[in-house]
Amino acid sequence: MLNQLAWKASWRHLLLHPWQLALLILGIALGVAVVVAVDLATSSATLAFNDAAKTFSSTTTHQIIDPENKLDERVYLELKQQYPQLAVAPLVQGYLSSPEYPGRRFHIIGIDPFSDTPFRAEGAALEREILTQLLTEPLTALATKKLRTEITTLPLTTGNTTQQLKIIGLMNEQPGTSALLESVLMVDIATAQELFNMEGYLSQIDLVLPQQDTAITQQIQQNIPKTYQLNSIQSKTNALTQMTKAFRINLMAMSLLAIVVGMFIISNAISFSVLQRRKIFGSLRSTGAEPKLILQIILTEALVIGCIGTFFGFILGAFLAEGLLTLVTRTINDLYFQLGTSSLTIDSWSIFKGVSLGVGATLIAALIPATEAVKSSSDTIIRRSSIENRSLKLIPKLALTGIGIIVMGVALILLPLDSLILSFTALFFILMGYALISPWAMLKLSSGLQSAMTRTLGITGLMACRSIKRNISRTGIATAALLIAIATTVGVSTMIGSFRIAVQNWIESSLSADLYISVIDNNSSSNVIDPQFIEQLQQRLPGITMNQSKWQQVYTETRPINLLALGLSRRGFEGFRFKHGDINKAWAAFNNNNSILVSEPFAYHHQLAVGDFFILPTPQAATAETKLRVAGIFYNYASEQGIAIINLNLYQQLWKNTSLSGLSLYLDDKNTYDANIETIQNLFIHYPKLQLRKSSEIRAMTLAVFDRTFAVTDVLRLLTLIVAIVGILAALMALQLERIKEIATLKAIGFTPRQIQFLLITETGLSGLLAGLLSLPLGIIMAVILIHEINQISFGWSMPLSLDPLQFIYAILIALTAAMIAGIYPAKLLSKTPTAEALRHE
Amino acid sequence: MNNKMVVVALIIGCLFIFIGSVLLVPDTLTNTEQNNFLRQLNSTNNQDFDKATQIKPFSFPLDHGPHNTYQTEWWYLTGNLQNKNGQQFGYQLTFFRVALSPERTTRSSAWASNQIYMGHLALSDIKNNKHYASERFSRAALGLSGATASPFRVWLEDWVISGNKKSPFPMTLNAKTTEFSIQLKLDNIKPLVLQGNQGLSQKSTAKGNASYYYTYSRIKSQGTVTTADETHSVSGLSWMDREWSTSALAADQIGWDWFALHLSNGYDLMYYQLRKKNGEIDPASSGVLIAPDGKTKKLSHADIHLSIKHHWLSKKTAIRYPIGWQLEIPKEKIRLTIMAKQANQEMNVSIRYWEGAVQVNGKYNGQLVDGAGYLELAGYQK
């Protein structure tokens, strides 16, 4: 009998407070949604990462490439003849854009379906009719299901013309790789050669070499022309993993942050719902209900609500993830390599995390107040003051624990280990510790503000200040969540802001020339500037100052190196800002052809200091290396992997290659500036592969890429913030709604409805303001850790901290507004409730 | 309270269904589609190819080379070999030429070609009951694969048969895979035989459903075969078929059983029967009996009594092949039992068929004969 009554009481309570129930579920759903969204987006992106190397060359162990992208196809035929038993496949590939899909680049992969079978499943899976078309009809292609349903012919821009690529069939999409293949078109090698004007040439040759047989590898190495490179895929995949590790860890950290905020919100929502009913539970206990029963009821309720919340959380999370994924993919494309647009892949681990957070955190959050409700005598449960009293006693202890945790976090940072995971752990320790101190700080701040509030707002101000102290057990967690979310916003924004300023300064100083000429697409065909063009340019603009450059990708065991060979004037050299090393000495060493300049991330990744030797692998790969002394370490934010620079003369000696991939021009005479540009542009008509960029364009582009890179971080941060705001909204609203009797008493002693409204909004506003204020120091601490620890470790970039006061004002405003909005509805509602009824109600 | 439990159960149930369905999504994407490349050699879309519609004078050595305007063509070598200890081997090396389109379009890439070559190489190691099979494809471009009449040479990467300017014989055969290899010197004992009606071999009553077909039935073979364990010096007899066509099978035909037998009395026997979907044998089925001196006698469907004595079920493909036969030619007083030397000689490649060495025993004109040969069973997959 009592049993049933007790279950009904809990059920009815929830049904009678639909608003609270809805807010409770919303809180849980939001917490789960953020975690699931971030997790899904990052894991999908990670999957795409991992597949990137595998998809196009699943079994490939080695590749033969020509740095000039002009690999003679006869090399393939010779290989085939010399090693008939080896799996060898030719590949012609490149990137083209389509007027129909502006901004998207299509990766055209030309294969020979027959020799390709050991590498990709394409050839073997083709229907005869499709194979026939692919091989015999020019400009036919295979695409993903998705692309094929969108279009039947894809116009592609090649040079000055547009060619129509007919999509005749489907590619072989392995599960989970469709995301990757979305912008990929598979064509016959003949079509690819014709598209890219590469008749007679290949982009690369894929090989499967027996792992244990190094002799054959060496043999092949010796038999191919010296300018070609035989690279092991192992090292390439390693390099890829290395490259993307930092980015993935950053995303992971964001998802962890989301979990922390999500947990705060869930535990706040559920513990409030339990605390609120201590009276009901007290009454049940006094009528003889077993503590076990009460516990059972609370936990069952938490489980049900947790499940519902998790369910909605998943749905919401999936939607959010779609959007996030686009951003993540874009960042990957900007920073690393072409991924196509990713599609969402749902893995069980994300689901596990979401469910354990939604259901698990809800249960744990319910367990604490539930055991408390069960343990204490029925008499004290009824009195809420007893809880508040206990909470007040607990707060200093919490603060002390918090300080302890912060000390641990700081100690972790001071450890001389460059570990990202450790740094993030330290960051979270500091966050958690700070959160534990925050209730104490709130109390101190509110009593500090007491006199000022009284002076300005009268009795209402005083009451608002004191109510913070009284309600700390309920608002504490929610305010801490808001505080952490806002601190994160401040911290991350400050980091991004400082970063942006550093990049801006760097680009201003390094882009000293007026015009930059490069090859449009260094993926397809050759990235070499036609020597004729340079000749003609010099003829038409005699005496123009021109710096020449040549990009060269060099493969080492661990990561690919971006090597830039520069033919520089002293003036161009002035553009470098050196972190270590003297510019005059570096200039002398640079011209002595025995030294190398490295960018800051490069020095970081290869652990180089000025004066160290760097061993540069040169074209005769296995046999030849060149030892170069590091003459200077310069600031450069262009490449996360870093750049190494050598003198163009040295490059030409080592590589026996005089081709150029870039030119920078100084147009000093402002009078002839426009005329000169016109001259150059006229010359460009004959060279469709070349592109001309003004330094101002490059500047704008760099910053655009920068902004896009941090768009993900920005969105994640915003998302976390929104969750925190909704969380505090839910918590405060529920809290206020509970105060019917208190408000009625105030009304009975003469408070007008307006005054009541004012009081309630002031109260919530005050806690928001305090959370905002308290978040600022934490935000700055976070920014410092992000800039000097985490960024340094993951990217190798250093930058000065620049604080933006506007950010701080925003942060406080956000907290204040969120909290005040949370007060509006309860204030309206409570001020309208008839006094007598409200008093009787309790 | 009961209601409550039901609600709880429902909610948890819904949640699990939701999670379950989400978890299952990637699996449905799994592509289980098997290898279906070139499931059939002859595509139905073949109007523009040349067809074997009438008797044409053959012209050698030109006709030893490719006939690119016909859709399909093959150089088909099979043989029974043994080493000095009597250890038996069967081998098959076939070069199929497939024209993807009747005409070659002019394109700037040297890779472009309308001709592709498919190679099947198999070795039956009878003593060890092992069957090795390998398949290759290549386009006839950049010298990767192709055929020339004079000098005679057919190749697919490093699988090569070659002769001289005038004739395929004496021929060298070289074919290697990572598992096994065959190297043979081949010389014909009997002259070339034109099959069917002066080389026009009708495959059904419909006009054009025919091929140009000639045979070197008895070829002295000597060389080596190498399996995983060792290299064997071997000798024996081979058979070579040359056939080109555009549409060999009629719509109602599903496959064929082809016999190429060397008898100990010097006679060679070729017979193919074409099976129809309804289980009947097409009357166009035919064969030839080649005397030791090379004289031929045509055999028609009515001359032959053929019955199945033994079946074998492939564990790999679940296809049931008839690998034991009784063949009678009453008017020639021939009665032969034909039995696979080993059951597993299935070619489980892009086209599934059974092609294997067979042992022959029986009577010819009252005299006991034995012999060996090759049996091809095509079109048995359901």
Give the per-residue pLDDT at A378.
54
**Tokens describing residue A656:** 């026996």
- Residue A434: alpha-carbon gap to chain centroid: 25
Dihedral sign of CA atoms A501, A505, A506, A512 in order: positive
Considering only CA atoms, which of A256, A265, A484, A474 is closest in space to residue A362?
A265
> Minimum mean pLDDT among A730-739, A822-831, B125-134: which range?
A730-739
pLDDT tens per residue, range A506-554? 887 777 788 888 776 544 345 678 788 888 888 888 777 788 888 777 7
pLDDT band of A46, cuts 50, 70, 90: low
The pLDDT of residue A179 is above 60: no
For residues A712 and A788, membership in a common domain is answered with yes
Task: Report pLDDT digits (tens) over A302-353.
Answer: 888 888 888 888 888 888 887 777 776 666 665 555 444 455 566 677 778 7
Q: Where are the alpha helices (DSSP H) in A336-418?
A: 348-355, 362-375, 378-382, 384-414
Residues 44-73 of B with CB under 8 A from A: 45
Q: How far is residue B381's CA from residue A445's CA, in Å, rounded to a whole number?
A: 85
Position A731, amino acid: A
DSSP B28-81: HT-------TTSSSS-S--TTS----S-----TTGGGS--TTSSEEEEEEEEEE
Res. B291: pLDDT tops 90: yes
Predicted local confidence at residue B258, as pLDDT:
96
Q: Is A760 exposed, middle or buried (0-12, 13-18, 19+ CB in 10 A)?
A: buried
For residue B275, give both structure tokens.
């099976």
- Tokens (6 digits) for B137: 């494809």
Q: What is the pLDDT of residues A640-675, one digit of tens each?
A: 778 899 998 888 888 777 888 888 888 777 777 778
Beta strands in A585-743 (DSSP E): 595-599, 613-617, 625-634, 643-647, 662-666, 690-694
A161 reaches B (C-beta below 8 A): no
pLDDT band of residue A604 (cuts 50, 70, 90) is confident
- Structural domains in chain B plus CATH codes: 62-378 (2.40.370.10)
For residue A825, the SS3 value is: helix
A402 belongs to a structural domain = no
Per 3-state DSSP, chain B is made up of helix, strand and coil in percentages (nearest 5) of 10, 50, 40
Sort out which chain B residues have CB atoms less than 8 A from A188's CB and list them: 111-112
B43–chain A Cβ distance below 8 A for any pair: yes
Kindly tell me if the per-residue pLDDT of A374 is higher than 90. Answer: no
State phi, psi for A142 to the nearest 5 degrees: -105, 145
Decide if A92 contacts A186 (C-beta within 8 A).
no
Same domain, A684 and A704: no
Among B residues 165-224, those touching chain A with beta carbons less than 8 Å apart: 176-178
Q: Pick the residue with more confidence: A785 or B1?
A: A785
pLDDT digits (tens, 9 = 90+) for A664-716: 888 777 777 778 888 887 777 777 667 777 888 778 777 776 776 677 667 77
Q: What is the pLDDT of residue A217?
A: 80
CA A318 to chain centre: 17
pLDDT at residue A399 is higher than 80: yes
Return the higher-pLDDT residue of B81 and A569: B81
Does A605 reside within a domain?
yes
User: Quick check: B321 pLDDT over 70?
Assistant: yes
Same domain, A704 and A673: no
Contact residues, B window 124-153, toward A, CB-based 8 Å cutoff = 136-139, 142-144
Query: Is A172 at the interface with chain B, CB within 8 A?
Result: yes
Distance CA A558, CA A818 (A): 49
Question: What pLDDT score was predicted for residue B78?
Answer: 97
What pLDDT is attached to residue A50?
A: 60
Return d(Cα B180, Cα B174) in angstroms, integer: 11
A216 and A79 belong to one structural domain: yes
Phi-psi bin for A159: left (phi > 0), alpha (psi -120 to 50), beta?
left
Domain that holds residue A444: 412-510+696-842
Residues A564 and A675 in one domain: yes
Residues A684 and A556 grouped into a single domain: yes
Same-domain status, A579 and A656: yes
In this structure, of A257-266, A447-456, A811-820, B67-76, the range with the lowest mean pLDDT score is: A257-266
Domain-embedded: residue A390? no
Q: What is the mean pLDDT of residues B222-227?
A: 96
Phi-psi region of A517 (alpha: psi -120 to 50; beta: other; left: phi over 0): beta
pLDDT score for B82: 96
A127 touches chain B (CB under 8 A): yes
DSSP annotation string for B287-325: EEEE-TTS-EEEEEGGG-EEEEEEEEE-TTT--EEEEEE
Q: Which residues of A554-574 are buried (b: 16+ CB within 10 A; e: fewer)?
A: bbeeebbbbbbbbbbeeebbe
Residue A341 lies in a domain: yes
Given this model, what pLDDT does residue A622 score?
46
Question: Per-residue pLDDT for B346 more than 90?
Answer: yes
The three-state secondary structure class of A800 is coil
Tens of pLDDT, residue by residue over A105-156, are 788 889 898 887 665 555 455 777 888 889 999 999 998 888 888 888 999 8
CB-count burial class (<10 Å; 0-12, 13-18, 19+) for A231? middle
- Say whether both A367 and A462 belong to one domain: no
Q: From chain A, pick out residues whose CB is under 8 angstroms from the CB of B157.
A: 80, 84
Q: In the predicted model, is pLDDT for residue A408 greater than 50?
A: yes
SS3 state at A428: helix
Percent of chain A with pLDDT strictly greater than 90 = 7
Of residues A67, A69, A65, A52, the one with CA closest to residue A524: A69
Residues A112 and A22 in one domain: no
Q: Is the domain of A293 the same as that of A429?
A: no
Which residues are CB-neighbours of A16 under 8 A, at least 6 positions away? none
Q: Report residue A163: phi and psi, to 5°.
A: -115, 145
Nearest in space to A359 (alpha carbons), one of A294, A309, A323? A309
Q: Characterize B167-195 residue by residue with b for buried, 16 or more Cβ atoms within 10 angstroms of its Cβ, and e for exposed.
A: bbbebebbbbbeebbbbbebebbbebbbb
Higher pLDDT, A695 or A836: A695
A332 HSE (CA, 13 A, CB side): 30
The DSSP result for B263-295, as a single string, is: ETTS-EEEEEEEEETTSPBPTT-EEEEE-TTS-
* Pairwise CA distance, residues B130 & A546, whole Å: 71
**Single-letter amino acid code for the residue at B139:** R
Q: Which of A654, A677, A695 is the last residue of a domain?
A: A695
* Same domain for A545 and A472: no
Residue-averaged pLDDT of chain B: 87
C-beta of residue A782 within 8 angstroms of C-beta of residue A487: yes
Structural contact between residues A97 and A157, judged by C-beta atoms closer than 8 angstroms: yes
- Minimum distance, in Å, between the CA of residue B243 and any CA atom of chain A: 21
Tell which of A180, A196, A226 closes a domain.
Answer: A226
pLDDT digits 0-9 by tens, A489-515: 888 888 888 888 888 888 877 777 888
Task: Evaluate whether residue A400 is within a structural domain.
Answer: no
- In this prediction, residue B27 has a pLDDT band, given cuts at 50, 70 and 90, of very low
Residues in chain B with CB shorter than 8 Å from the CB of A189 are 109, 111
Task: Give dist(CA B79, CA B82) in Å, integer.
Answer: 10
Q: Which residue of B has its CA nearest to A310?
A: B15
Last residue of a domain, one of A226, A248, A282: A226
Q: What is the pLDDT of residue B23?
A: 42
What are B230-241's pLDDT values in tens digits? 899 999 999 999
Choose among B1, B38, B144: nearest Cβ to A7: B1
CB atoms within 10 A of CB A416: 4
Q: Which amino acid appears at position A396 of this protein? A: P
Q: Of the ranges A83-87, A402-406, B333-337, which one carries the lowest mean pLDDT score? A: A83-87
A118 forms bridges with which residues in the sheet? none
If you count them, how many residues does chain A have? 842
Whether the pLDDT of residue B320 is over 60: the answer is yes
Q: How many domains does chain A have?
A: 4
* Residue to test with chain B: of A119, A132, A198, most B Cβ within 10 A: A132
Q: Which residues of A814-831 are buried (b: 16+ CB within 10 A; e: fewer)?
A: bbbebbbbbbbbbbebbb
CB contact under 8 A, B12 and A307: yes
Query: For residue A76, which of A220, A174, A291, A197 has the smallest C-alpha distance?
Result: A220
Local structure of residue A558 (DSSP, 8 states) = S
Say which residue, B310 or B9, is predicted with more confidence.
B310
pLDDT score for A840: 65
- The CA distance from A5 to A217, in Å, is 80
State the CB neighbour count (10 A cutoff) for residue B141.
20
Domain-embedded: residue A485? yes
Ranked by mean pLDDT, the top range of A165-179, B243-257, B309-323 is B309-323
- Tell which wins on pLDDT, B87 or A620: B87
DSSP, collapsed to helix, strand or coil, labels residue A620 as coil
What is d(CA A596, CA A642) in angstroms, rounded to the nearest whole number? 13
Find the range with the poorest average confidence among A546-560, B101-115, B295-309. Answer: A546-560
Do residue A725 and residue A771 come from a single domain? Answer: yes
**C-alpha distances out from residue A478 to A485, A568, A616, A683, B105, Å:** 11, 59, 56, 66, 74
Burial class (CB in 10 A: 0-12, 13-18, 19+), A669: exposed
Nearest to A208 by CA among A119, A123, A112, A124: A119
φ, ψ dihedrals at A521, nearest 5°: -130, 105
Out of A755-764, B51-60, B232-241, least confident range: A755-764
Instruction: State yes or no: pLDDT of B8 exceeds 60.
Output: no
State residue A667 phi and psi, 5-degree precision. Answer: -110, 90
Point out the residue among B14, B26, B40 whose CB comes nearest to the CB of A175: B26
What is the SS3 string spanning A635-658? CCCCCCCCEEEEEHHHHHHHHCCC
Q: What is the mean pLDDT of chain A?
A: 78
Note the maximum CA span of chain A: 104
Question: What's the pLDDT at A826?
Answer: 76
Q: pLDDT tier at B43 (50, 70, 90 boundaries)?
A: low
Residue B287 confidence (pLDDT): 95
| Distance between CA atoms of residues A527 and A521, nearest Å | 7
Task: Give the chain A residue whose CA is nearest to the CA of B105.
Answer: A136
Which of A627-631, B299-303, B363-367 shows the lowest per-residue confidence on average (mean pLDDT)? A627-631
Instruction: Provide the pLDDT confidence category of residue B38 given band limits of 50, 70 and 90.
Output: very low
The overall longest dimension of chain B from CA atoms, in Å, is 100
User: Is the Cβ–Cβ distance between B109 and B98 less than 8 Å?
Assistant: no
Q: What angle do CA A819, A820, A825 make, to 5 degrees?
A: 105
Q: Are A769 and A816 in contact (CB under 8 A)?
A: yes
Mean pLDDT score, A66-84: 85
Q: What is the pLDDT of residue B272?
A: 95
Structural domain contains residue A392: no
User: B84 CA to chain A: closest CA distance, Å?
Assistant: 29
Which has more pLDDT, B295 or A500?
A: B295
DSSP characters for B112-146?
--SEEEEEEEEEEETTTTEEEEEEEEEES-TTSEE
Question: Is the CB of A11 inside 8 Å of chain B's CB atoms?
Answer: yes
Is A404 a member of any domain?
no
Amino acid A606 reads H
A692 contact partners, CB below 8 Å, separation of at least 6: A515, A516, A517, A680, A681, A684
Residue B7 has pLDDT above 60, yes or no: no
Give residue B297's pLDDT: 95
